[in-house]
A and B are shown apart, each in its own frame.
Chain A
Amino acid sequence: MISLKDVTKKYDDFTAVDSISMNIKKGELMVILGPSGCGKSTTLRLINKMVPLTKGTIKVRGRNIDDIDDVDLRKSIGYVIQSIGLFPHMSVARNIGTVPNLLNWEKEIIENKIDEMLRLVGLSPEKYKDKKPSQLSGGEAQRVGVARALASDPDIVLMDEPFGAVDPINRLRLQREFRQIQKSLNKTVLFVTHDVDEALLIADRICIMDHGKIIQIGSPEEIVLKPENDFVRKFFKGEGVLNLLSREKAIDYLVLEKNLEYEGVGDLNLREALSQLLSQGTERLVFSEGFLTINEIIIALRSDKSDYTK
């Protein structure tokens, strides 16, 4: 869907992006992870031509972006930035309707789309449509930002630390919801962040960057369990495994047996399950559907589930 080949971006003497190549497949959520100044945002902005390329080729949907008009390219790609940049003089509805309006959609279709988008991001259309951005909380504004980026139904969405300015509790909720939305709509997403937890929670694949170069690309499991070098290892501070566990639902790893007197497992994830094991000091967690021991958790980590690695 998006392919980068030997892409380089130089600002005078400074090389922001240094000859990187990667392929992002349709429906994939690729996270570029790295410390500030590593070139991750620049990489993102090269793709929608917000900054011009110095060297290399970028193809979007198989076409070289040099051959596509800047404005047409950007209209076809959803874009969310950290500061969101909602238009303060427009209502939430008009903000969301921006790109459909630019594309000259019919009024009625736009109106329906606005309602649909607000519901998708968990905001009630009646309550939020006519609000101004200044009347929204940080989390709500972020949701509107996502709704705006998805409103014209672009198959590709670029996101630059979209949840960076939200408090931790809301951030986690947004991340989970966003991942569900992304999977259900089958969007191709390139997501930039410096937040390790966020990357491990939502990514299909992670690309780790430093000083403008790609250090390692792989599934979260590969990156955490088989780090290419010390930089990658240090990045996760030895806790990456725990983050991996939060990606997995406990129900998928239960040893099945009926224990009707116990409660259901619900949507408990493996990280929470491990935490319960440790805090209860028991060897197995029993649910109505089955039980879980430390062995199942280890097995979960060792199995390779990624569809995108090969």
Chain B
Amino acid sequence: MITRNKSSIVMLVISIILLYIVFYSEGFEELLTLLLSRKTNTISRTPLYIYFFQHLQMVIISSFIAIIVGVSLGIFITTEKGEEYKDIFLKLVNIGQAFPSPALLALMVPVLGYGLRGALIALVLYAFMPIIYNTVIGIEQVSVDVVEAAKGMGMNNYMIYKKIKIPLATKVILGGIRTATIINISAATLAAAVGAGGLGVPLVNGVRTFDMILILQGAIPVTLLAIITELALKKLELRFD
């Protein structure tokens, strides 16, 4: 109970800091200037909160699609009908994960052009692995005895999934969703390279011009967002213990 309350307080504090940084970016910039005792060279920029919302939008949309499609696919390949595709799918997803993310994004450009679409598809593909993997593992770890009992009592396959397998796999599936979302929050910074915006924009610009303050203005909100998401989803998972 104590640890749960603690994580709520931590979440609240970090959220306040994040909101402060995003909506009062001038103040944040001044603070960084003071701390690093150097000034940023870039003047007149898009406000940070616009990048933040672009970032948030990318993460939410890509994670949402990845969860819907990934969980469905994961469930499908554990069924009798989908079993034959299981190995191929898991291998493909694994290879997809090993493929460097900047390269994956760059490859989207010639196919889909610059902009949000390419970035979203790359992010969805990236989020697939932990989601599909955990869905399969979560469902397969359900005890054979429990499934046998359910079947023996007259549940059909649909019922067994709905009432037994999926509820018992929820915690593991949520773990996959958490990993995928965190990966996406960080990977979405690369979307700036294909012109999809997001917190990657100040970051990439900062790297290009050796502007420390600009880099931190992109990187710190991303990190804080990742921490909040991690804590929130972890809390959700604990409910399924």
Which A positions have Cβ atoms within 8 angstroms of B?
48, 50, 71-76, 79, 81, 83-89, 98-99, 102, 148-149
Contact = CB atoms under 8 A, between A and B. Distances in A.
11 contacts: A50-B151, A74-B152, A74-B153, A79-B149, A85-B146, A85-B148, A87-B149, A87-B164, A99-B153, A102-B155, A148-B153
Contacts of B163: 87
Contacts of B155: 71, 98, 102
Contact of B150 (A73, A84, A85): A85
Interface in B184-234: none
Given A85-B143, A87-B164, A88-B168, A102 B154 contact: yes
B151 A87 contact: no
Contact of A74 (B145, B151, B167, B168): B151
Given A85-B146, A88-B168, A79 B156 contact: no
A76 B152 CA distance: 10
Contacts of A72: 154
Nearest to B152: A79
A148 B159 CA distance: 17
Contact of B149 (A73, A75, A81): A81
B145 A81 contact: yes
A54 B156 CA distance: 22
Contacts of B143: 83, 85, 88
Interface in B102-157: 143, 145-156
How big is the B interface, by class? 10 to 19
A241 to B, nearest CB: 36
Contacts of A73: 154
B215 to A, nearest CB: 46
A149 B152 CA distance: 10
Contacts of A86: 146, 149
Contacts of A79: 149, 152-153
A75 B145 contact: no
Given A71-B156, A89-B168, A102-B159, A84 B145 contact: yes
A99 B153 CA distance: 7
A190 to B, nearest CB: 13
B143 to A, nearest CB: 7
When A and B form their complex, which 10 residue pairs have the shortest distance between CB atoms, in order from nearest?
A: A85-B149, A75-B154, A74-B154, A83-B145, A79-B152, A85-B145, A85-B146, A71-B156, A89-B167, A71-B154
Nearest to B157: A71
Given A71-B156, A102-B155, A102-B159, A87 B148 contact: no
Contacts of B148: 50, 81, 85
A50 B152 contact: yes
A84 B153 CA distance: 12
A240 B164 CA distance: 43
Contacts of A83: 143, 145
A23 to B, nearest CB: 23
From B154, B156, B159, B163, residue with most partner A Cβ within 10 Å: B154
Nearest to B170: A89
Contacts of A99: 153-154
A48 B153 CA distance: 9
A284 to B, nearest CB: 51
B167 to A, nearest CB: 5
Nearest to A79: B152
Contacts of A85: 143, 145-150
Contacts of A148: 153
A87 B143 CA distance: 10
A42 B153 CA distance: 17
Nearest to A98: B153
Contact of A88 (B146, B151, B154, B156): B146
A141 to B, nearest CB: 12
Given A71-B156, A85-B149, A87-B146, 20 more contacts: A71-B155, A72-B154, A73-B154, A74-B151, A74-B152, A74-B154, A75-B153, A79-B152, A81-B148, A84-B149, A85-B145, A86-B146, A87-B164, A87-B168, A88-B146, A98-B155, A99-B153, A102-B159, A148-B153, A149-B153
Contacts of B150: 85, 87, 98
A73 B153 CA distance: 9
Contacts of B156: 71
Nearest to B155: A102
From A81, A98, A99, residue with most partner B Cβ within 10 Å: A98
